[in-house]
Amino acid sequence: MPLAIEFSVLGSSSGGNCTAVRCGGSVILVDAGFTAKEIAGRLSGIGIGIDEVSGVLLTHDHIDHVRGAGVLSRRHGIPIHAARQTFCAAERALGCCEKSYFECGGEFEAWPFNVRTFPLPHDAASHCGFRLEAQKTSFGLATDIGYATPALIEGLRDCDSIVLESNYDFDMLENGPYPYFLKKRIAGEGGHLSNRECGEVLNEVVCKRTNRVVLAHLSQNNNTEPLARATVSSVAHRALCEFGFKIHAANPFEPTPVFRA
Ligand SMILES: [Zn+2]
Ligand SMILES: [Zn+2]
């Protein structure tokens, strides 16, 4: 049987983000926003040893994406792949670690994956989404997105599996308890993607190859899992009917099942 890409979102919210992507005997983590101990525990819960991890890719410097990366690198000799600006902005959180630089918008090899990076608008020093390809299969991940851009659409188009931010419900945010400046930041160009916007992006990127979509980075205050699923399903209704992909939602507390991309 040919090798396949498998993945699990180990956890996702503003409290921490980490996704494991495996192909053959090699596991890459996208972001390491929990403590190293927590990440090792969650990995072992899905049958992956920390010694199988061959690299960590960082999307951006915010603490919910980098928290455990430095310790993972020092303790287990795992290289961290990130943009130069991300290393600079996260210097204190990362500490001394094995660094591998990439250019946001470029691509590189992290065996057995070809990794394509695409820039995303967000209030970080540098921020990107990833498209990992191996064995003619592609896995795309993008969270923390201020608004949809052509680079986002291009990066996720025709992927077999997609992890995409569905951060907030517009009405919940609007009527919720957050102060005005924070509401403005979340809904603004350097903030996050709403459920509706997530559905609109899916309409642009899914195709008959697409097997599944995992909604990620759901706000614990301005969203619920059923609401995110319902809004995304209704906005992307036609694509869903046409291509029949599955929609799942990641949560902050436990890993999703291990999906085949
Ligand atoms: Zn985040
Ligand atoms: Zn962020």
Structural domain of 48? 5-256
The closest of 220, 211, 180 to 11, measured between CA atoms, is 220
214-230 confidence digits (pLDDT tens): 999 999 999 999 999 99
Angle, helix 225-235 to helix 195-205, in steps of 10 degrees: 40
Count: domains in the chain: 1
Say what the pTM is. 0.97
User: Distance between CA 230 and CA 223 in Å, rounded?
Assistant: 11
Ligand 2 center–CA 165 separation, angstroms: 11
CA distance 95 to 102: 19
CA–CA separation, 215 vs 47, rounded Å?
Answer: 23
Q: 40 in a domain, yes or no?
A: yes
Residue 32 near residue 67 (C-beta atoms within 8 A): yes
CA 170, 187, 200, 139 torsion-angle sign: negative
Q: What CATH number does residue 80 fall under? A: 3.60.15.10
SS (H, E, C) the chain: CCCCEEEEEEEEECCEEEEEEEECCEEEEECCCCCHHHHHHHHHHCCCCHHHEEEEECCCCCHHHHCCHHHHHHHHCCCEEEEHHHHHHCHHHHCCCCEEEECCCCEEEECCEEEEEEECCCCCCCCEEEEEEECCEEEEEECCCCCCCHHHHHHHCCCCEEEEECCECHHHHHHCCCCHHHHHHHHCCCCCCEHHHHHHHHHHHCCCCCCEEEEECCCCCCCCHHHHHHHHHHHCHHHHHHHCCEEEECCCCCCCCCEEC
Domain contains 261: no
Residue pLDDT, tens place only, 137-186 = 999 999 999 999 999 999 999 999 999 999 999 999 999 999 999 999 99
CA of 251 to the centre of ligand 1 (A): 13
Give the ligand whose atoms come closest to the C-alpha of residue 60: 2
d(CA 105, CA 120): 10
Instruction: Note whether residue 106 is domain-resident.
Output: yes
Contact 91, 78 (CB under 8 A): no
CA 1 – ligand 1 centroid, Å: 36
Among the bound ligands, name the one nearest to the CA of residue 14: 1
* pLDDT (0 to 100) of residue 2: 59
The answer to whether 28 and 21 are in contact (CB under 8 A) is: yes
- Asked if residue 229 belongs to a domain, the reply is yes
**Within-domain flag for 157:** yes
Instruction: Please tell me the total number of residues recorded for the chain in this structure.
Output: 261
Residues with CB under 5 A from ligand 1 (ion): 64, 144
Residue 59 lies inside a defined structural domain of this protein: yes
Mark the ranges of the chain whose per-residue pLDDT is less than 50: none
pLDDT for 135 equals: 87
14 CA distance to ligand 1 middle (Å): 5
Say what the pLDDT of residue 240 is. 96
Instruction: For residue 149, tell me if it sits in a domain.
Output: yes
